[in-house]
């Protein structure tokens, strides 16, 4: 059963766009010797000074034990460091190292390149789409 309405049509189109461009992230991550999850973790770390391992597991929708392996590999490359939280030394927080911040910036620049489909939109349409998405995301 197909649901009708502009909201459903819009969501379906956005979903199709995301799925059509989804291979881009793992391909870019692989160029840097990263997995998609490692790339996502670096992205999340750049939004805050430090993040607990538990919060990262929640954001990546995976088990905390999986986060440990992801972090171990990033830490071995000198991209992240574990630190004890100031509020509780038992809680581990993750921070970007200088090398991690530099790589994250490079990745962000590469991943910010819009898909080819956006080139078919006029500048006005691109701005309108951006503004509507910001509104939908309350940004």
- 87-138 pLDDT, tens digit per residue, is 888 888 899 999 999 999 999 999 988 888 888 999 999 999 999 999 988 8
Question: Taking Cα atoms as reference points, which of 108, 107, 48 lies closest to residue 83?
Answer: 48
The model carries a pTM of 0.77
CATH number of the CATH domain containing 81: 1.10.10.10
**Mean pLDDT score across all residues of the chain:** 89
- 61-74 pLDDT, tens digit per residue, is 888 888 999 999 99
- b/e code 86-96 from CB counts within 10 Å (16+ = b): eeeeeebbbeb
138 within domain boundaries: no
* Tokens encoding 131: 């503004």
81 within domain boundaries: yes
11 within domain boundaries: no
Per the structure, the count of domains in the chain is 1
13 within domain boundaries: no
What is the model's pLDDT at position 26?
A: 93
- Residue 18 near residue 12, CB atoms below 8 Å: no
pLDDT grade for 1, boundaries at 50, 70 and 90: very low
Percent share of the chain, pLDDT over 90: 44
Q: Residue 84 pairs with which residues in a beta bridge?
A: 92
Show the domain range for 82: 22-111
55 within domain boundaries: yes
């Amino acid at each position: 059963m197909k649901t009708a309405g502009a909201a459903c049509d819009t969501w379906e189109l956005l979903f199709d766009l995301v799925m059509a461009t989804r291979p881009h992230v793992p391909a870019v991550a692989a160029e840097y010797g990263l997995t998609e999850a490692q790339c996502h973790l670096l992205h999340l770390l750049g939004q805050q000074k430090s993040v607990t391992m538990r919060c990262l597991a929640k954001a990546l929708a995976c088990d905390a034990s999986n986060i440990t392996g992801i972090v171990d590999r990033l830490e071995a490359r000198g991209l992240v460091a574990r630190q004890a939280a100031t509020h509780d030394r038992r809680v581990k927080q993750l921070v970007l190292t200088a090398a991690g911040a530099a790589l994250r910036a490079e990745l962000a620049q590469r991943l910010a390149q819009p898909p080819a489909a956006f080139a078919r939109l006029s500048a006005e349409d691109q701005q309108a789409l951006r503004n509507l998405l910001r509104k939908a995301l309350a940004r």
